[in-house]
Structure 1
Amino acid sequence: MMRPDDHGVERGYDMELHRNRGALVLPLACVIGGGVLLVLPGEHVLLRRLVAVGAVLLGGGVLVGLLRPFRFVVGADGLSVRRPGLRRTIAWAEVAALALARPPARQGLPSTPRLLLVPAPGALADLPADAHHPVDGRAAVELLDLARVRERPAEVAAALTRHAGDRFVDALGGAPAADRHRTL
Protein backbone atom coordinates (compact mmCIF):
# COMPACT_ATOMS: atom_id res chain seq x y z
CA MET A 1 0.00 0.00 0.00
CA MET A 2 1.15 3.55 -0.61
CA ARG A 3 2.45 5.16 2.53
CA PRO A 4 3.10 8.89 2.86
CA ASP A 5 6.30 10.11 4.44
CA ASP A 6 6.50 12.84 7.12
CA HIS A 7 5.78 15.50 4.49
CA GLY A 8 2.69 13.76 3.04
CA VAL A 9 4.48 12.61 -0.12
CA GLU A 10 3.73 9.06 -1.25
CA ARG A 11 7.03 7.25 -1.67
CA GLY A 12 6.19 3.77 -2.89
CA TYR A 13 4.72 0.48 -1.94
CA ASP A 14 5.69 -1.24 1.28
CA MET A 15 5.22 -4.96 1.72
CA GLU A 16 4.49 -6.33 5.15
CA LEU A 17 4.97 -10.06 5.63
CA HIS A 18 2.57 -12.01 7.85
CA ARG A 19 3.38 -14.97 10.05
CA ASN A 20 2.06 -18.35 8.97
CA ARG A 21 -0.25 -19.48 11.80
CA GLY A 22 -0.79 -23.05 10.54
CA ALA A 23 1.64 -24.46 13.08
CA LEU A 24 -0.59 -23.52 16.03
CA VAL A 25 -2.77 -26.65 15.85
CA LEU A 26 -0.34 -29.23 17.25
CA PRO A 27 0.90 -27.24 20.28
CA LEU A 28 -2.67 -26.20 21.07
CA ALA A 29 -3.74 -29.87 20.96
CA CYS A 30 -0.88 -30.75 23.35
CA VAL A 31 -1.97 -28.09 25.85
CA ILE A 32 -5.65 -29.10 25.68
CA GLY A 33 -4.89 -32.83 25.76
CA GLY A 34 -2.54 -32.41 28.70
CA GLY A 35 -5.14 -30.37 30.55
CA VAL A 36 -7.75 -33.08 30.02
CA LEU A 37 -5.34 -35.77 31.25
CA LEU A 38 -4.71 -33.74 34.41
CA VAL A 39 -8.36 -33.70 35.44
CA LEU A 40 -9.34 -37.28 34.52
CA PRO A 41 -9.60 -39.73 37.45
CA GLY A 42 -8.32 -43.30 37.20
CA GLU A 43 -5.37 -45.58 37.77
CA HIS A 44 -1.69 -44.76 37.26
CA VAL A 45 -2.27 -41.18 38.35
CA LEU A 46 1.42 -40.30 38.76
CA LEU A 47 2.43 -41.46 35.28
CA ARG A 48 -0.58 -39.78 33.65
CA ARG A 49 0.11 -36.51 35.48
CA LEU A 50 3.77 -36.55 34.43
CA VAL A 51 2.77 -37.07 30.79
CA ALA A 52 0.08 -34.37 31.07
CA VAL A 53 2.43 -31.82 32.62
CA GLY A 54 5.04 -32.61 29.97
CA ALA A 55 2.48 -32.13 27.17
CA VAL A 56 1.26 -28.84 28.64
CA LEU A 57 4.81 -27.51 29.11
CA LEU A 58 5.96 -28.59 25.65
CA GLY A 59 2.85 -27.29 23.88
CA GLY A 60 2.83 -24.10 25.92
CA GLY A 61 6.49 -23.41 25.14
CA VAL A 62 5.91 -23.85 21.41
CA LEU A 63 2.77 -21.66 21.56
CA VAL A 64 4.66 -18.87 23.31
CA GLY A 65 7.31 -18.98 20.59
CA LEU A 66 4.70 -18.90 17.83
CA LEU A 67 2.81 -16.00 19.40
CA ARG A 68 5.85 -13.79 19.97
CA PRO A 69 5.76 -10.42 18.20
CA PHE A 70 6.66 -10.58 14.52
CA ARG A 71 7.00 -7.83 11.95
CA PHE A 72 8.83 -7.78 8.67
CA VAL A 73 8.33 -4.87 6.27
CA VAL A 74 10.16 -4.22 3.01
CA GLY A 75 9.93 -0.51 2.29
CA ALA A 76 11.55 2.48 0.65
CA ASP A 77 13.65 3.23 3.76
CA GLY A 78 14.86 -0.34 4.29
CA LEU A 79 13.74 -3.36 6.24
CA SER A 80 11.75 -3.14 9.46
CA VAL A 81 12.36 -6.36 11.38
CA ARG A 82 10.80 -7.47 14.65
CA ARG A 83 11.37 -11.12 15.41
CA PRO A 84 13.06 -13.12 18.17
CA GLY A 85 16.67 -11.97 18.40
CA LEU A 86 16.29 -8.95 16.14
CA ARG A 87 14.23 -5.79 16.55
CA ARG A 88 15.31 -2.88 14.40
CA THR A 89 14.98 -0.97 11.16
CA ILE A 90 17.79 -1.74 8.75
CA ALA A 91 18.38 1.15 6.35
CA TRP A 92 19.32 0.32 2.76
CA ALA A 93 22.68 2.07 3.37
CA GLU A 94 23.49 -0.68 5.92
CA VAL A 95 22.85 -3.45 3.36
CA ALA A 96 25.60 -4.62 1.01
CA ALA A 97 23.57 -7.52 -0.41
CA LEU A 98 20.38 -9.51 0.07
CA ALA A 99 19.68 -12.96 -1.29
CA LEU A 100 16.79 -15.39 -1.34
CA ALA A 101 18.45 -18.78 -1.18
CA ARG A 102 17.76 -22.36 -0.22
CA PRO A 103 20.41 -23.85 2.09
CA PRO A 104 21.65 -27.39 1.40
CA ALA A 105 19.33 -30.18 2.55
CA ARG A 106 20.29 -31.82 5.82
CA GLN A 107 19.78 -35.50 6.58
CA GLY A 108 17.64 -35.94 3.47
CA LEU A 109 15.10 -33.31 4.56
CA PRO A 110 14.35 -30.51 2.07
CA SER A 111 15.26 -27.03 3.23
CA THR A 112 13.06 -23.96 3.00
CA PRO A 113 13.99 -20.65 1.33
CA ARG A 114 15.73 -18.08 3.51
CA LEU A 115 16.39 -14.36 3.20
CA LEU A 116 20.06 -13.61 3.81
CA LEU A 117 21.61 -10.19 4.44
CA VAL A 118 25.23 -9.21 3.92
CA PRO A 119 25.82 -6.06 6.00
CA ALA A 120 27.67 -3.10 4.50
CA PRO A 121 31.23 -2.74 5.84
CA GLY A 122 31.13 -1.32 9.37
CA ALA A 123 27.35 -1.68 9.67
CA LEU A 124 25.35 -4.10 11.81
CA ALA A 125 28.42 -5.47 13.58
CA ASP A 126 26.20 -6.70 16.42
CA LEU A 127 24.43 -9.25 14.18
CA PRO A 128 26.12 -12.66 14.15
CA ALA A 129 26.90 -14.10 10.71
CA ASP A 130 25.25 -17.52 10.52
CA ALA A 131 25.11 -18.11 6.75
CA HIS A 132 26.90 -17.34 3.48
CA HIS A 133 25.79 -15.40 0.40
CA PRO A 134 24.95 -17.98 -2.31
CA VAL A 135 26.79 -16.14 -5.12
CA ASP A 136 30.07 -14.98 -3.61
CA GLY A 137 30.24 -16.73 -0.21
CA ARG A 138 30.41 -13.57 1.92
CA ALA A 139 29.34 -13.92 5.56
CA ALA A 140 25.62 -13.26 5.88
CA VAL A 141 22.90 -13.04 8.51
CA GLU A 142 19.73 -15.10 8.13
CA LEU A 143 16.91 -12.58 8.46
CA LEU A 144 13.92 -14.74 7.67
CA ASP A 145 12.85 -18.33 7.04
CA LEU A 146 10.18 -18.00 4.35
CA ALA A 147 8.39 -21.13 5.61
CA ARG A 148 7.27 -19.00 8.57
CA VAL A 149 5.40 -16.42 6.47
CA ARG A 150 2.23 -16.59 4.37
CA GLU A 151 3.62 -14.72 1.37
CA ARG A 152 5.15 -16.70 -1.48
CA PRO A 153 8.88 -16.36 -2.24
CA ALA A 154 8.02 -14.77 -5.61
CA GLU A 155 6.07 -11.99 -3.86
CA VAL A 156 8.93 -11.35 -1.45
CA ALA A 157 11.41 -11.33 -4.35
CA ALA A 158 9.31 -8.77 -6.24
CA ALA A 159 9.21 -6.42 -3.24
CA LEU A 160 12.94 -6.78 -2.64
CA THR A 161 13.70 -6.18 -6.33
CA ARG A 162 11.54 -3.03 -6.24
CA HIS A 163 13.16 -1.57 -3.12
CA ALA A 164 16.67 -3.07 -2.82
CA GLY A 165 17.50 -2.90 -6.52
CA ASP A 166 20.86 -4.38 -7.48
CA ARG A 167 21.63 -5.32 -3.86
CA PHE A 168 19.14 -8.19 -4.20
CA VAL A 169 19.75 -11.61 -5.78
CA ASP A 170 17.05 -14.26 -6.17
CA ALA A 171 19.05 -17.50 -6.02
CA LEU A 172 15.79 -19.49 -6.03
CA GLY A 173 14.67 -18.43 -9.51
CA GLY A 174 17.57 -19.86 -11.50
CA ALA A 175 18.22 -18.77 -15.06
CA PRO A 176 15.50 -16.89 -16.95
CA ALA A 177 13.47 -19.02 -19.36
CA ALA A 178 15.10 -17.44 -22.44
CA ASP A 179 18.59 -18.40 -21.21
CA ARG A 180 17.54 -21.99 -20.50
CA HIS A 181 16.27 -22.44 -24.07
CA ARG A 182 19.56 -21.20 -25.53
CA THR A 183 21.65 -23.71 -23.58
CA LEU A 184 19.56 -26.72 -24.64
Structure 2
Amino acid sequence: MEVHRSRGTLPLAVACVLGGVTVLALAGEGSVLRVLAALGAVVLGGVVLVGAVRPFRFLIGPAGIEVRRPGLRGTYRWEQFEALALDDAGRLVAVPAAGLGLRTTARHPRDGRAAVELLDLRQIRESPDDVAAALSRYSGGRFTDARTPVAARLAGAEIDFTVALRGYFTAQVDQLVHRAQDALAQGGPAERRAARAEIEQARAAGIPVGLRGYDVGQVDAALDALCAALTAEPTTDRETTT
Protein backbone atom coordinates (compact mmCIF):
# COMPACT_ATOMS: atom_id res chain seq x y z
CA MET A 1 0.00 0.00 0.00
CA GLU A 2 1.40 3.39 -0.98
CA VAL A 3 0.36 6.40 1.08
CA HIS A 4 -0.06 9.80 -0.57
CA ARG A 5 0.41 13.21 0.99
CA SER A 6 -2.68 15.38 1.30
CA ARG A 7 -2.76 18.52 -0.84
CA GLY A 8 -5.68 20.09 0.99
CA THR A 9 -3.77 23.18 2.18
CA LEU A 10 -2.04 23.84 -1.14
CA PRO A 11 -4.70 26.16 -2.69
CA LEU A 12 -4.82 28.26 0.48
CA ALA A 13 -1.03 28.54 0.54
CA VAL A 14 -0.95 29.69 -3.08
CA ALA A 15 -3.67 32.23 -2.35
CA CYS A 16 -1.70 33.56 0.64
CA VAL A 17 1.44 34.03 -1.44
CA LEU A 18 -0.34 35.64 -4.39
CA GLY A 19 -2.47 37.85 -2.16
CA GLY A 20 0.52 38.95 -0.11
CA VAL A 21 2.58 39.75 -3.20
CA THR A 22 -0.31 41.75 -4.67
CA VAL A 23 -0.73 43.78 -1.49
CA LEU A 24 3.02 44.46 -1.35
CA ALA A 25 2.98 45.63 -4.96
CA LEU A 26 0.07 48.00 -4.40
CA ALA A 27 0.91 49.21 -0.90
CA GLY A 28 1.77 52.87 -0.71
CA GLU A 29 3.95 54.75 1.71
CA GLY A 30 2.83 54.70 5.32
CA SER A 31 0.99 51.38 5.02
CA VAL A 32 3.20 49.67 7.58
CA LEU A 33 0.56 47.36 9.04
CA ARG A 34 -0.64 46.34 5.60
CA VAL A 35 2.92 45.57 4.51
CA LEU A 36 3.59 43.52 7.64
CA ALA A 37 0.38 41.54 7.16
CA ALA A 38 1.25 40.90 3.52
CA LEU A 39 4.75 39.75 4.44
CA GLY A 40 3.30 37.40 7.03
CA ALA A 41 0.93 35.91 4.45
CA VAL A 42 3.77 35.41 1.97
CA VAL A 43 5.99 33.74 4.58
CA LEU A 44 3.22 31.48 5.86
CA GLY A 45 2.17 30.46 2.37
CA GLY A 46 5.78 29.92 1.36
CA VAL A 47 6.42 27.59 4.30
CA VAL A 48 3.40 25.48 3.37
CA LEU A 49 4.43 25.39 -0.30
CA VAL A 50 7.97 24.30 0.56
CA GLY A 51 6.61 21.50 2.71
CA ALA A 52 4.25 20.41 -0.07
CA VAL A 53 7.02 20.01 -2.64
CA ARG A 54 9.53 18.25 -0.39
CA PRO A 55 10.05 14.56 -1.20
CA PHE A 56 7.52 12.22 0.37
CA ARG A 57 7.03 8.48 0.08
CA PHE A 58 5.51 5.97 2.46
CA LEU A 59 5.05 2.39 1.34
CA ILE A 60 3.70 -0.52 3.41
CA GLY A 61 4.45 -3.98 2.07
CA PRO A 62 5.10 -7.62 2.99
CA ALA A 63 8.81 -7.03 3.65
CA GLY A 64 8.49 -3.83 5.66
CA ILE A 65 8.03 -0.11 5.14
CA GLU A 66 9.78 2.49 3.02
CA VAL A 67 9.82 6.02 4.43
CA ARG A 68 10.92 9.19 2.70
CA ARG A 69 9.87 12.34 4.49
CA PRO A 70 11.56 15.28 6.24
CA GLY A 71 13.51 13.93 9.20
CA LEU A 72 13.28 10.26 8.31
CA ARG A 73 14.39 8.32 5.28
CA GLY A 74 15.03 4.63 4.80
CA THR A 75 13.70 1.15 4.12
CA TYR A 76 13.00 -0.90 7.22
CA ARG A 77 12.17 -4.58 7.63
CA TRP A 78 9.38 -5.50 10.02
CA GLU A 79 11.80 -7.31 12.32
CA GLN A 80 13.65 -4.03 12.87
CA PHE A 81 10.69 -2.86 14.95
CA GLU A 82 9.57 -4.41 18.21
CA ALA A 83 6.10 -2.87 17.92
CA LEU A 84 4.07 -0.35 15.92
CA ALA A 85 0.98 1.52 17.06
CA LEU A 86 -1.56 4.07 15.87
CA ASP A 87 -2.70 6.54 18.54
CA ASP A 88 -5.71 8.84 18.94
CA ALA A 89 -3.72 11.81 17.63
CA GLY A 90 -3.36 10.08 14.27
CA ARG A 91 0.34 9.30 14.66
CA LEU A 92 1.90 6.02 13.58
CA VAL A 93 4.78 5.27 15.95
CA ALA A 94 7.23 2.39 16.09
CA VAL A 95 9.44 1.00 18.85
CA PRO A 96 12.81 0.36 17.16
CA ALA A 97 14.71 -2.84 17.83
CA ALA A 98 18.05 -2.57 19.60
CA GLY A 99 20.79 -1.18 17.40
CA LEU A 100 18.56 0.39 14.75
CA GLY A 101 19.81 3.85 15.67
CA LEU A 102 16.66 5.89 15.07
CA ARG A 103 16.08 8.94 17.27
CA THR A 104 13.01 8.38 19.43
CA THR A 105 10.69 11.37 19.82
CA ALA A 106 7.43 9.66 20.80
CA ARG A 107 6.00 7.00 23.10
CA HIS A 108 4.08 3.81 22.45
CA PRO A 109 0.48 4.70 23.46
CA ARG A 110 -0.09 1.43 25.33
CA ASP A 111 3.10 0.75 27.29
CA GLY A 112 5.05 4.02 27.07
CA ARG A 113 8.16 2.60 25.41
CA ALA A 114 10.33 5.08 23.52
CA ALA A 115 9.28 5.19 19.88
CA VAL A 116 9.93 7.00 16.62
CA GLU A 117 7.11 8.79 14.81
CA LEU A 118 6.85 7.27 11.35
CA LEU A 119 3.85 9.11 9.94
CA ASP A 120 1.24 11.74 10.80
CA LEU A 121 -1.97 10.38 9.31
CA ARG A 122 -3.61 13.81 9.43
CA GLN A 123 -1.35 14.81 6.54
CA ILE A 124 -2.23 12.02 4.12
CA ARG A 125 -5.14 11.27 1.81
CA GLU A 126 -5.74 7.67 2.90
CA SER A 127 -7.97 7.00 5.90
CA PRO A 128 -6.53 5.78 9.21
CA ASP A 129 -8.63 2.62 8.89
CA ASP A 130 -7.04 1.79 5.53
CA VAL A 131 -3.54 2.30 6.93
CA ALA A 132 -4.37 0.23 10.01
CA ALA A 133 -5.68 -2.59 7.80
CA ALA A 134 -2.46 -2.66 5.76
CA LEU A 135 -0.29 -2.67 8.88
CA SER A 136 -2.37 -5.47 10.41
CA ARG A 137 -1.96 -7.49 7.25
CA TYR A 138 1.78 -7.14 6.78
CA SER A 139 3.46 -6.42 10.12
CA GLY A 140 3.40 -9.95 11.49
CA GLY A 141 1.43 -9.13 14.64
CA ARG A 142 3.60 -6.17 15.62
CA PHE A 143 0.90 -3.56 15.02
CA THR A 144 -1.59 -2.33 17.62
CA ASP A 145 -4.49 -0.04 16.76
CA ALA A 146 -4.47 1.93 20.02
CA ARG A 147 -7.12 4.43 18.98
CA THR A 148 -10.10 4.69 21.28
CA PRO A 149 -12.98 2.80 19.59
CA VAL A 150 -15.51 5.06 17.87
CA ALA A 151 -18.28 3.93 20.19
CA ALA A 152 -16.28 4.87 23.27
CA ARG A 153 -15.35 8.27 21.82
CA LEU A 154 -18.96 9.10 20.99
CA ALA A 155 -20.25 7.79 24.30
CA GLY A 156 -18.08 10.16 26.32
CA ALA A 157 -17.91 13.11 23.94
CA GLU A 158 -19.71 16.40 24.32
CA ILE A 159 -21.36 16.80 20.91
CA ASP A 160 -21.99 20.47 20.21
CA PHE A 161 -23.95 21.81 17.26
CA THR A 162 -24.00 25.28 15.76
CA VAL A 163 -27.33 27.08 15.96
CA ALA A 164 -28.27 28.27 12.47
CA LEU A 165 -31.22 29.51 10.46
CA ARG A 166 -33.55 26.74 9.28
CA GLY A 167 -32.09 24.15 11.62
CA TYR A 168 -33.38 21.03 13.35
CA PHE A 169 -35.44 21.43 16.52
CA THR A 170 -32.91 21.30 19.32
CA ALA A 171 -35.01 19.37 21.85
CA GLN A 172 -35.56 16.33 19.61
CA VAL A 173 -31.93 16.23 18.48
CA ASP A 174 -30.69 16.45 22.08
CA GLN A 175 -32.99 13.59 23.05
CA LEU A 176 -31.80 11.36 20.20
CA VAL A 177 -28.13 12.08 20.87
CA HIS A 178 -28.34 11.59 24.64
CA ARG A 179 -30.20 8.28 24.33
CA ALA A 180 -27.68 7.04 21.78
CA GLN A 181 -24.76 8.03 24.00
CA ASP A 182 -26.34 6.33 27.02
CA ALA A 183 -26.79 3.14 24.99
CA LEU A 184 -23.16 3.26 23.85
CA ALA A 185 -21.86 3.90 27.35
CA GLN A 186 -24.00 1.53 29.39
CA GLY A 187 -26.42 -0.39 27.20
CA GLY A 188 -26.32 -3.89 25.84
CA PRO A 189 -27.22 -5.08 22.34
CA ALA A 190 -30.96 -4.55 22.91
CA GLU A 191 -30.50 -0.97 24.11
CA ARG A 192 -28.21 -0.19 21.19
CA ARG A 193 -30.69 -1.57 18.69
CA ALA A 194 -33.48 0.45 20.28
CA ALA A 195 -31.47 3.69 20.21
CA ARG A 196 -30.51 3.13 16.58
CA ALA A 197 -34.12 2.35 15.64
CA GLU A 198 -35.27 5.56 17.35
CA ILE A 199 -32.81 7.61 15.28
CA GLU A 200 -33.83 5.87 12.06
CA GLN A 201 -37.54 6.36 12.76
CA ALA A 202 -37.05 10.04 13.58
CA ARG A 203 -35.12 10.61 10.38
CA ALA A 204 -37.61 8.66 8.29
CA ALA A 205 -40.46 10.77 9.69
CA GLY A 206 -38.38 13.92 9.26
CA ILE A 207 -36.84 15.78 12.17
CA PRO A 208 -38.73 19.08 12.44
CA VAL A 209 -36.97 22.17 11.12
CA GLY A 210 -37.52 25.58 12.68
CA LEU A 211 -36.55 29.15 11.97
CA ARG A 212 -33.52 28.62 14.20
CA GLY A 213 -32.12 25.27 15.23
CA TYR A 214 -29.13 22.96 15.06
CA ASP A 215 -27.15 23.02 11.83
CA VAL A 216 -28.64 20.34 9.57
CA GLY A 217 -25.34 19.11 8.12
CA GLN A 218 -23.68 18.78 11.52
CA VAL A 219 -26.62 16.88 12.99
CA ASP A 220 -26.87 14.52 10.01
CA ALA A 221 -23.15 13.71 10.26
CA ALA A 222 -23.38 13.10 14.02
CA LEU A 223 -26.43 10.85 13.68
CA ASP A 224 -24.69 8.88 10.92
CA ALA A 225 -21.70 8.33 13.22
CA LEU A 226 -23.91 7.36 16.16
CA CYS A 227 -25.85 4.85 14.06
CA ALA A 228 -22.62 3.29 12.81
CA ALA A 229 -21.28 3.03 16.37
CA LEU A 230 -24.55 1.55 17.64
CA THR A 231 -24.41 -1.07 14.87
CA ALA A 232 -20.80 -2.09 15.53
CA GLU A 233 -20.10 -4.98 17.85
CA PRO A 234 -18.80 -3.83 21.26
CA THR A 235 -15.05 -4.37 21.61
CA THR A 236 -12.55 -3.69 24.35
CA ASP A 237 -9.27 -4.42 22.58
CA ARG A 238 -8.21 -3.63 19.06
CA GLU A 239 -4.76 -5.18 19.21
CA THR A 240 -4.01 -7.39 16.24
CA THR A 241 -3.06 -11.02 16.57
CA THR A 242 -1.19 -13.34 14.31
Distance in 2 (alpha carbons) for counterparts of 1:51 and 1:168: 46
TM-score, normalised to structure 2's length?
0.59
1:178 Cα shift? 5.0
Of 17, 42, 47, 1:31 maps to: 17
- Tell me the C-alpha RMSD between the 2 structures: 2.1
Structure 1's consecutive aligned runs of 4 or more residues displaced over 2 angstroms after TM superposition are 41-55, 173-180
Is 1:157 the counterpart of 2:132? The answer is: yes
Q: Tell whether the 8 Å contact from 2:85 to 2:144 is kept in structure 1 after alignment.
A: yes
Q: Greater share of strand residues, 1 or 2?
A: 1
Of 144, 149, 168, 1:169 maps to: 144
Q: Which residue is 2:121 aligned to?
A: 146
Q: Tell whether the 8 Å contact from 2:27 to 2:35 is kept in structure 1 after alignment.
A: no
Q: Secondary structure at the match of 2:66?
A: strand
Of 83, 86, 90, 1:113 maps to: 90
Is 1:95 the counterpart of 2:78? The answer is: no
Distance in 1 (alpha carbons) for counterparts of 2:37 and 2:24: 9
TM-score, normalised to structure 1's length?
0.76
> 2:85 corresponds to which letter in structure 1?
A
Q: Which residue is 2:37 aligned to?
A: 51
CA deviation string 1:127-168 (max 9, x = no partner): 221111122221111111110011111100110011102101
> 1:61 corresponds to which letter in structure 2?
V
> 2:125 corresponds to which letter in structure 1?
R
Identity level (%): 56
Q: Which residue is 2:170 aligned to?
A: none
Max Rg structure: 2
Q: Which residue is 1:137 aligned to?
A: 112
Q: Secondary structure at the match of 1:89?
A: strand
Q: Greater share of helix residues, 1 or 2?
A: 2
Distance in 2 (alpha carbons) for counterparts of 1:83 and 1:165: 24
1:52 Cα shift? 2.7
Q: Which residue is 1:62 aligned to?
A: 48
Structure with the bigger RCO (C-alpha within 8 Å, sep 6+) is: 1
Provide the aligned length of Structure 1 versus Structure 2.
155
Gaps of 5+ in 2: 153-231, 237-242
Distance in 2 (alpha carbons) for counterparts of 1:134 and 1:163: 20
Matches within 5 A, 1:9-28: 15-28=1-14
CA deviation string 1:93-128 (max 9, x = no partner): 2111110112xxxxxxxxx311010011222x1x22
> 1:133 corresponds to which letter in structure 2?
H
